[in-house]
Amino acid sequence: MPLYILLTRFWIECFGNSVAITRSFSAFISLLTFPCIYWLCRELFGSSLIGWMAMGLVAISPVHVLYAQEVRSYSLWIVAILVSSAALLRAMRLKTKVSWCIYTATLVLGFYSHLFFTLVAFAQGIYVFAIERFRVSKTSIYYLFSFLAGLINFLPWIWIIITHPQPESVNWGNTKQTLFQSAMRWAGIFSRAFLDLGISPSDPGKLKILLIPFIVIILALIIYSIYVLCRRSSKEVWLFVLTLIGSVGLPLLVVDFVFQKRYATTRYILPSVLGMELAIAYLFTTKITSISPKIWQKKLWSFAAFMVIIAGIISCTISSQAQMWWNKYPEKYQEFPKIASIINQSNKPLVISDVENTLPPVQILSYLVDPKVRFQILEKNQLPEITNGFTDIFLFLFEPSDFLKAGIEKIYNSKLQHIDQSLWKIAKP
């Protein structure tokens, strides 16, 4: 969606276009998560303590910290989900035209932040009609007007989506997988919100097996928190959390398990993650502040909250020191730091590639090599000109190109020496 792209462009024009500055916009937006989730907890639970607990969980959540560093729209989408949810609850409480206008504005913000926000808005509608017992009431009518007004503002971009389809952008989701693979994938995605050690599909099976006990504990904690929420809170509270969890998670769950696809990914189920964090914040707060005479229960739940915080801190610390994390597709690009190190050893290196290998492999490599490295990007079926002044000339091909390899050997009258994975070096005659 275009909103994040436009805002990032203005940010870059104001402060510069370095990598750090570009990423800092997502970090800045992510800070708005804290007041927004606190506001949501005040509207939903009527408790500032739960709000503080939720802020703590978000602050050390590996998923939130990860996407706060990405030059992508997910930090903005998280804020849009939280602020629209809080605005909806406020509008239902106050029942004023101004409050519903504010909610409408948050819908427009959400629609232009991420396409899946439409599912979140639809789930909010289910919540409103369920609370109103599916009767035509003032609240349900106001919601319909707000939803339609937000949708009308979104129509120009809907037209762009229809007239400019890009099915190839989600071809990765057509990969077939078994029910067991889907279940393991979903379990891993949910657990990453609280513990993330960077394990990716390309890692050895032994590492994944070692994580199973921790994943089981986290999933048990999530299930139990939802159980306690449904047992001890009012319908207005638990139904809201359940609709938030199921807004995007349930449709993707059906697609993955019924059609054996793999559309489920961490960034897509962020609404579900937020709902689970709200449930766990409620669980920890109510258990720790309970008036129960059993002191050992309070200590047990205090220890559980402490361990969740420690798991998040450890995850974020490991991630901050890693060269490449799972969200950068290490199964494809894990050799790039090694390739960059080989190139950096030359005094005046030149790297030759073509347009079919440019995005994103050459972009990734360009940030790993030293400033002394020069690149020459060729058009398809184009050969490079003989270049002087470089001590070493490398050929970088993430996608195979026999035409380019054969042409370079002919131009330089030399054989290509295969150095590593996608890297060749032109041997001196």
Residue 222 has pLDDT above 70, yes or no: yes
pLDDT band at 174 (very low <50, low <70, confident <90, very high): confident
* pLDDT confidence bin for 411, thresholds 50/70/90: confident
The per-residue pLDDT for 335 is: 83
Burial 215-241 (b: 16+ CB within 10 A, else e): bebbeebbeebbebbeeebeeebbbbb
Which residue type is seen at 331? Answer: E
pLDDT recorded at residue 264: 81
Work out the angle at residue 362's Cα, subtended by the Cα atoms of residues 358 and 366, and round it to the nearest 5 degrees: 145
Q: Give the pLDDT confidence score for residue 415 in this predicted structure.
A: 83
pLDDT at 293 (0 to 100): 67
Report the candidate in 244, 266, 247, 278 with the shortest Cα–Cα distance to residue 315. Answer: 266
Helices (H), 289-335: 295-321, 330-333
Looking at residue 74, its pLDDT comes to 96
The pLDDT tens digits for 295-327 are 888 899 999 999 999 999 999 999 988 877 888
- pLDDT number for residue 17: 86
* pLDDT, tens digit (0-9, with 9 covering 90-100), for 7-37: 999 999 999 988 899 999 999 999 999 999 9
pLDDT at res. 38: 98
Judged against a pLDDT cut of 70, whether residue 221 lies above it is answered with yes
Percent of the chain scored above 90 by pLDDT?
A: 59
* Dist CA 193 CA 270 (whole Å): 9
Q: Is the distance from CB of 8 to CB of 22 less than 8 angstroms?
A: yes
Q: State the Cα–Cα distance between residues 292 and 301, nearest whole angstrom.
A: 13
pLDDT for position 428: 66
pLDDT of 283 above 90: yes
Higher pLDDT, 328 or 343: 343
Rounded to an integer, the average pLDDT of 389-416 is 83
Percentage with pLDDT > 70 across the chain: 96
> How does DSSP assign 11-72, residue by residue?
HHHHH---HHHHHHHHHHHHHTHHHHHHHHHHHHT--HHHHHHHHHHHHT-HHHHHHTSSSS
Mean pLDDT of 375-401: 83
- In tens, the pLDDT along 107-152 reads 999 999 999 999 999 999 999 999 999 998 999 999 999 999 999 9
Confidence of residue 419 (pLDDT cuts 50, 70, 90): confident
pLDDT band for position 329 (cuts 50, 70, 90): confident
Is pLDDT above 80 for 44?
Answer: yes
pLDDT computed for residue 36 by the predictor: 97
More confident residue, 408 or 50: 50
User: At residue 397, does pLDDT exceed 90?
Assistant: no
Give the CA angle between residues 218, 224, 274 to the nearest 5°.
65
Residue-averaged pLDDT of the chain: 89
Note the pLDDT tens digit of each residue in 246-258.
999 999 998 888 8
Give CA angle at 359 (392, 118), nearest 5°: 160
Q: Which pLDDT value is given to residue 5? A: 95
- At position 305, the amino acid (one-letter code) is A
Residue 356 DSSP label: G
Q: Which of the four pLDDT bands, split at 50, 70 and 90, describes residue 418?
A: confident
Amino acid in the structure at residue 409: E
Mean pLDDT over residues 77-103, rounded? 97
Q: In terms of Cα–Cα distance, which of 369, 386, 414, 373 is closest to 424? A: 414
- Choose between 98 and 164: higher pLDDT: 98
